[in-house]
Chain A
Amino acid sequence: MSAKELFVAFWTILTKEVRRFTRIWGQTLLPPAITMTLYFIIFGNLIGSRIGEMGGFNYMEYIVPGLIMMSVITNSYGNVVSSFYSTKFQRNIEELLVSPIPYWVILCGYVLGGVSRGLAVGFIVTLLSLFFTDLQIHNIAVTVSVVFLTAVLFSLGGFINAVFANSFDDISIVPTFILTPLTYLGGVFYSISLLPEFWQGVSMLNPILYMVNTFRYGILGVSDISIGFAYGMIILFIVILFSVSLHLLKSGKGIRN
């Protein structure tokens, strides 16, 4: 296929994915907006006003970057896992497999679909946060790049989950039992400097900590960890998950007999 044909194929998958999540906006875009508004009201306003400052900022300002990142993570992951698994379940994955699209284009199409939803929800949550606090962006390049890379990383994670899933139950196991705990313990609501030294060390093993802190650095200019190291970790994880996803597609694991 020529470069133009490859782009048409990629664009077709991406627009199909965007069409899917915008068509069912009541299930994809509205719920995170409501959930995050509740977080802002309960944790930011009601409880946060009693907590005082954290990292030199009031509690609401401190948790907003983490909550935006949390919504980006869960939605980019959720979009790809549900979309790709449904494609398998309805067998319209066969439409893609019989076509000449290279596997890396299929993967990029689905991942960018997940990134689109993650960023769309992140944008909605950011707009909502402006009703509760003033956001001053410290470093726009860091803010945009880390949110994009994080959405890419979790879209890849969702893709791998979908490849291995054999039922709709399987697509909710990882988000419920792994992703949510890691996100909550990834410094969304607190600075790890508040933890005893041992638990700070344990927290450093949580990849979400690096993303939340880098994003917080982009907005507030404060972070618990080294930004350069965080970028290195995120990019390393992306390379690993992209390679694994591509291998799974090529081998036909879970999608070809």
Chain B
Amino acid sequence: MTIALSIENLRKVYGNGFEALKGISLQVEEGDFFALLGPNGAGKSTTLGIVSSLVNKTEGRVSIFGHDLEKDLVRAKMCLGVVPQEFNFNMFEKVIDIIVTQAGYYGIPLQTAHERAEFYLRKLGLWEKRNERARMLSGGMKRRLMIARALVHNPRLLILDEPTAGVDIELRRSMWEFLQEINEAGTTIILTTHYLEEAESLCRNIAIIDHGSIVQDTSMRELLLQLNTETFLLDITPPQQQLPKVDGYKAELLDDHTLQIDVERSQGLNNIFQALEAQQISVSSMRNKANRLEELFVSLVDKNLTQEKA
């Protein structure tokens, strides 16, 4: 098993004394699609900033594919592609020049750089815009440009810091497909996002960081198993004026055809359907009230906050 990213006892204290990272440790395996989640100010961007050499660490050790950031920085950087949260390309440059210039920074000859730029710009639907100045692109196009730029040197590890922020749902889904495609082709991906359904559908492993500490580091499946109660919304027919009787479950009639039911992990769903059928009520559709990961995320962060206060 090859470790793509290894972080050991990483600590960061800013000049004003704020301790952004309190000695975190983390490992991401090669080929993984890994989510690093946390509320604003939790330490995600600081962590990724240190890994990307944009932030100086205070203590700890970081290595990328076994290359220590202090001892073997050049090889470590060769393995890494970064898509930052904010647009950081020269807005006055042409799209093609931004990609080709970035390739040049990795020592890639001009002809190869142009070939790769064409490949990724076509893949991300930007080829027609190659001669436009970057500032003329829409927000979604700028996001895709940053992904193309980060991939031009074919990195083994790709860091995506909120890559779909402000992107419409259609474009977001096409970006998901593209990211899944490059992950399946072997690129390890670390993703931070505030769209938790994005993390749930894309990532296999997950770490949650809060107040500079890792509060969870496990597989997505394991994490979702920790969810004790799920809330479902059932569309029922015919319309009901009174709450149907569903013994053993906490239920609430939201309107005459929507029934909200809390289901604990030890309980099945069959009993609900049987109870409703006995009352000649049928279920036309059913959905989670909130994203499952979102529920867990909120409970974990709340729990951590309570512990910190205590």
Chain A residues packing against B (C-beta within 8 Å): 1-2, 4-6, 8-9, 11-13, 16, 19, 23, 87, 90-92, 94-102, 252, 256-257
Contacts and interface: CB of A to CB of B under 8 A. Distances in A.
B101 A97 contact: no
A28 to B, nearest CB: 14
Interface in B59-113: 73-75, 77-78, 80, 82, 84, 86, 88-92, 97, 101-102, 104-110
A2 B107 contact: yes
30 contacts: A1-B107, A4-B107, A8-B104, A9-B106, A9-B107, A12-B104, A13-B105, A90-B88, A90-B90, A91-B88, A94-B54, A94-B88, A95-B88, A95-B101, A95-B149, A97-B52, A97-B54, A98-B52, A98-B77, A98-B80, A99-B102, A100-B73, A100-B74, A100-B105, A100-B107, A102-B74, A256-B54, A256-B55, A257-B14, A257-B54
Interface in B172-218: none
A249 to B, nearest CB: 12
Contacts of A92: 88-90
B56 interface: yes
A80 B258 CA distance: 66
Contacts of A102: 74
A92 B105 CA distance: 12
Contact of B102 (A4, A95, A256): A95
Contact of A8 (B52, B75, B77, B107): B107
Interface of B: 14, 49, 52-56, 73-75, 77-78, 80, 82, 84, 86, 88-92, 97, 101-102, 104-110, 149
A38 B84 CA distance: 48
A100 B74 CA distance: 5
Contacts of A98: 52-54, 77, 80, 82
Contacts of A257: 14, 49, 54-56
B101 A256 contact: no
Contacts of B55: 256-257
Contacts of B90: 87, 90, 92
Most buried by B among A9, A11, A12, A97: A12
State the 3 A-B residue pairs at the shortest beta-carbon distance, nearest first.
Answer: A5-B107, A12-B104, A99-B105
Contacts of A94: 52, 54, 82, 84, 88
Given A8-B104, A92-B89, A256-B55, 18 more contacts: A1-B74, A8-B109, A9-B106, A9-B107, A13-B104, A91-B88, A92-B90, A94-B88, A98-B54, A98-B77, A99-B77, A100-B75, A101-B105, A252-B56, A256-B53, A256-B54, A256-B56, A257-B55
A95 B104 CA distance: 11
A106 to B, nearest CB: 9
B165 to A, nearest CB: 16
Nearest to B79: A100
A100 B77 contact: yes
B13 to A, nearest CB: 12
A87 B93 CA distance: 12
Contacts of A87: 90
B111 to A, nearest CB: 11
